[in-house]
Structure 1
Amino acid sequence: MPIYQSDSQLYASFQELFGIIERHDPKASDALLKASLAITFVCSAPAAAITINARKAPVQLLYGATNLQPTIEVGLTADTLHCLLLGEMRLSKAIGADLVTLKGPVWKTMSLADLFHYAQQFYPGVLQAHGLPTTCPGLSRE
C-alpha cells in the first residue's frame, strides 16, 4: 500500500516541507538559483508532479501539470521519493535499481544536495504531523 493515498495528500506534505525549509534557511535554494535549475519530480502511485523552478528568484514551487520545460526530470514512485527523503535509500542505489529515471544534464542534480539535506532533517516531522508512516515500506535498505 503506497504511503500517499492521493496526489493532494502528497502535495500538502511537500508544501509544508518546503515551507519549513524556507523558514529554517531562506538561502536553502541558493545553489539551485546559481545552477539556474528547473527540476520536475514526476511521481507515480499516486500520479503527481512537483516542479522546483529556480531559473530566477524567487524560487517557485509548482504542483501538478505545468507547461514549464524542466532542466531535469526525475521519474520515480512517491514511495521511492519518500524513502530517499527519509535517508533510508541512497539516490545512487535507487538509480542503479531502476527505481529512478533521470532526463537532462544529470550533473546539475548536485545542486540539490543542500535541499535534500534539509528535507531529510524535516521530513519525518511533516510525516508525523500528517499521520503518515516514518519508515520506508517494501524497499530494501542500503
Structure 2
Amino acid sequence: MSTIVEHSVEIDAPVPQVFDYVDDFGNTRDWLYGLERIEPVTEQLRGVGATYEGTMKVGVRLTSRLRCTAWEKDSFIEISSLDGIRNTQRWRFTRLDGDRTRVDAWISFDLPGGAAGRAAGAAVRPLIGVAVKHTSQRLVENLEARSA
C-alpha cells in the first residue's frame, strides 16, 4: 500500500537558485530529514539518468538506489527508486512575485508487506509529519541565508 505525502513551501529566493540547490546531491544532506548517506553511482550527477545510492533513517534505516526519471531545468525533478524501498519523489518549482519560489513536493513510498513491512510502517508513519516539517524549514533557512 502506497503512502503519499504532499507539501508546499515558499522560499524568498529566485527559482534558478532554489532549483540548483535542490538538484545538487551534495546539498541534500543539509536539508533532507533523515538522510544519512547519498552517493552517486553514475558519472552523470544531474538530469535524467543520474543515479544514486542512499540511506535514510526515519524510525528505521531504509536503503534504496534512486534514478532521476524526469528533469526540466528550473521547473521539475522526478526521482524514482530502482530497488530497496519503492518510492517516487516529484519536486516542482514555481516562480512567485518578485524573487520568491514555491516548491511543491510529492512523495510516494511503499513499504514491504508482511510482518517486517507492518513493523517498518508503524515506525515510519508517525515520523512523516516531522520529516516534512523539518525538511521544509531547512530548505527555507538554507536558501534564504544564501540569498541574503
Structure 1-normalised TM-score? Answer: 0.37
| Bigger helix share | 1
Structure index of larger Rg: 2
